[in-house]
Amino acid sequence: MPPRALEPAGVALVDKPSGPSSFAVVAQIRRLTGARTGHAGTLDPFATGLLLLLSGRATKLTPRLVGLDKRYTTEIDLTCRTSTGDPEGEAGERRAAPGEDELRERLDGLRGEIELPIPAASAVKIGGERAYRLARRGIEVEMPLRRSTVHALDVIAYTGETVTLDVRVSSGTYIRSLALALGGHCASLRRTAVGPFSVDGAVAPEAFTAERLMSAAEVLERVEAARAAGS
């Protein structure tokens, strides 16, 4: 197979729909450009929102972008956990959701520096094999803890059964782990920002064109400006 082209080069802000994997979206953009294409962090198939995709020579920017903070809006069903922490897993026994006071206490315990188990349905390798493959075969393993920072965990709405949260976290944080820690699972998840880049400036995969690529210089300028501002 010939090497992928280094042009067009730049970074695309793509609004991933629910359903396809992030890698399917990467492949879709690669077919459109003919250039090598990478990403600065994936989303689960059920999730929607911002993907940063790097095209051509701009793939060298990956190390500068993968560590950026992420922001999400998530609706968490507090009446049951699932095996995966999302709608695709096997649901556990339903129970009454916590009241507002108890929910507030749980949220307080999840702000700042935290350690939570990585979800069993993740791509982390356990003994050389992807955890999600072990989970599919019904093999239970003790998942490692991951340290992360929850910068913001704000309630948008609370129905008595579900809570909708605005979440800003360090890179590598599993929102499904936060949902499980609250006693529920992610009913929906949308990534709204990666560092200084917002989903408001993104385009659906089918609407992408090479003209939508941001130059490497512009991307780095925005990242450095955000860091200088402390955001």
* Domains and their CATH numbers in the chain: 10-67+196-229 (3.30.2350.10), 70-193 (3.30.2350.10)
| Catalytic entry in 15, 44, 77, 86 | 44
Whether 154 is catalytic is no
Q: Report yes or no: 208 and 29 within 8 Å, Cβ to Cβ.
A: yes
Residue of 123 and 151 predicted with greater confidence: 151
Q: Report yes or no: 85 and 131 within 8 Å, Cβ to Cβ.
A: no
Pair of tokens at residue 42: 């994936």
Pair of tokens at residue 191: 């990534």
DSSP bridge partners of 197: 194
pLDDT tens digits, one per residue of 39-49: 999 998 999 99
Mean pLDDT of 19-29: 95
**pLDDT given at position 83:** 82
Residue 77 has, within 13 A of its CA and on its CB side, a CA count of 16
Residue 129 pLDDT greater than 80, yes or no: no
pLDDT tens digits, one per residue of 72-123: 999 999 999 988 888 888 888 999 999 999 999 999 999 999 999 877 766 6
